[in-house]
Each structure stands twice: as C-alpha cells, then as structure tokens.
Amino acid sequence: MAKDLSNYRKSYEKEELLESNCPKDPMDLFKTWFQNADESETVEETNAMSISTIGKDGFPKNRIVLLKKFTSEGFIFYTNYTSEKGKAIEDNNNICLSFFWPGLEQQIIIKGKAEKQAENLSDGYFNSRPDGSKLGAWASNQSTVVTSRNELEESLLSFETRFSGKEITRPKHWGGYLVKPISIEFWQGRPNRLHDRIRYLIEEDFSWKIERLAP
C-alpha cells in the first residue's frame, strides 16, 4: 500500500509577521493571535493545543489538551496527575506546547516549565465543571489499561452512587498545570516558503530577546 503526497502543496499568503508588529512581551502577541483565531470562522477549538513531554521511556509524546487560561505568568491546562503525561512531567517538567491554526496559516510553539497549579485554583476550576465531567475525572484512571468499555461505565456508575446527593469534590490526582514559558515562537506562513518566524527567548532579567529565525 502506498500513496504519494508529493503534490500536496499550498502557498501561504494570508498575513505577515514583522518585527515592527511585535510587542516586547510575547504574551501580548499571543493574546492578539488567540483573539483573532477565536473570532475567525476558520478555526474550531481555538484552545486545543498539542503538549509534548519526554517520557520515562526516553521518547517524546504529543497529545492534545485544552488550554483553559492564560495570564502574564503562562498557560494553564488540566489533567490527571497520575496519567502518562503527569508521570513524565514529574520526572522532567520541560514541556512544549503548540497551536496550529491552518485557516490563518499560523503556528505557535511554546517551550516552558510545567508546575502544578495551587490546589485552591484547581478546586475553583473543577467546581465550575458540569457534574458529568467531575464524575469522569473520578471514574477514569487516565492512561491505565482497561479490560473493556464496560469497566469504565461501571466505574462511572459507582462514583454516581458514591456522590449521590453530595458535593462532587476534586480528586487529588486531578488538577491544573501552569506552564511558564522560556521561549515562544510565532510562525506565519508566507509565499515561496519564506515564512516569518519570530522567536522570543527569556533573558536572565526576565525581559525577552526577539529574534527572526530562517524558515
């Protein structure tokens, strides 16, 4: 079986990214790009991002999670702390996040350090979730092998019974990570493969060095 994709080719022509449009703080540019993507009809699930970690087995692994908040400090997502990614972060908290919004011909790549968010903040977000999602966090021992779909359904039922008529509290193994960026690269597709790449790198005094990278 083979399929040749060598003629899959697209010219990127929508926008440009010039140094003159780059604010000092990359979070300001992230906010502008994110808002624009959020308003664009071409982008679905603007906040879906890939996160890559280096696992205990030495391999990198990517998967999608949802960005739930960004602040001047960094990027927050929620997950199970005992999942494969949780264990990887415990060992090595250097991680990479990336967004790709094809309709805008834009990519953002963030390298940073992940830290568990303060418990009260994780509680706050957990409490804002629908009951079904709260129970799902209890029912799923994320990343472990299960014998069948049925096992999951039964686990959900048992937690529905356990919490019936009671407040569904946050499981301690579930919460947020704050990713504090050390570099953020903005990629804007341009014609003739001469794409714009602007990288912000954090300096010792926490200011940002802005550099253009060859595409």
Ligand X SMILES: Cc1cc2nc3c(=O)[nH]c(=O)nc-3n(C[C@H](O)[C@H](O)[C@H](O)COP(=O)(O)O)c2cc1C
* Catalytic residue list: 193
Stretch that binds ligand X, among 10-18, 21-29, 77-85, 158-166 (CB under 6 A): 77-85
Nearer CB in complex with ligand X: 145/214: 145
Tally Cβ neighbours within 10 Å of residue 196: 20
Which residue in 17, 37, 46, 79 binds ligand X (CB under 6 A)?
Answer: 79
Residue with tokens 């629908």: 130
Provide the minimum distance between the beta carbon of 68 and ligand X in the complex, in angstroms, as a whole number: 7
**Contact call for residue 66 and ligand X (CB under 6 A):** yes
Residue 198, token pair as written in the block = 């602007």
The nearest distance, CB 29 to ligand X, in angstroms, is 24
Instruction: At 150, list the tokens.
Output: 């049925």
The residues in 105-144 that bind ligand X, with binding defined as CB under 6 A, are 142-143
Greatest Cα pair distance in the chain: 62
CA atoms within 13 A on the CB side of 84: 16
CB of 114 to ligand X, least distance (A): 13
Closest CA to 168 of 139, 145, 210: 139
Q: Which one of the spans 73-81, 117-125, 155-163, 202-210 is the region binding ligand X (CB under 6 A)?
A: 73-81
From candidates 1, 2, 5, 64, binder to ligand X by CB under 6 A: 64
User: Residues 12, 34, 75, 78: which binds ligand X (CB under 6 A)?
Assistant: 78
Residue 154 — φ and ψ, nearest 5°? Answer: -70, -40
55-80 burial code (b ≥16 CB/10 A, e <16): eeeeeeeeeebebebbeeebbbbbbb
Q: Is 65 a binder of ligand X (CB under 6 A)?
A: yes
Considering beta carbons, is residue 29 or 67 the nearer one to ligand X?
67
> Rounded to the nearest whole angstrom, what is the least distance from the CB of residue 63 to ligand X in the complex?
4
Distance, C-alpha 107 to centroid of its chain: 13
The tokens for 51 are 């996160």
Residues facing residue 185 across a β-bridge: 109, 199
- Shortest CB 88 distance to ligand X, Å: 8
Among 14, 24, 56, 61, binds ligand X (CB under 6 A): 61
User: Going by DSSP bridges, is the β-strand pair 60-70/75-80 parallel, antiparallel, or unpaired?
Assistant: antiparallel
> Residues in the site for ligand X, rule: CB under 6 A?
45, 48, 61, 63-66, 77-80, 83-85, 142-143
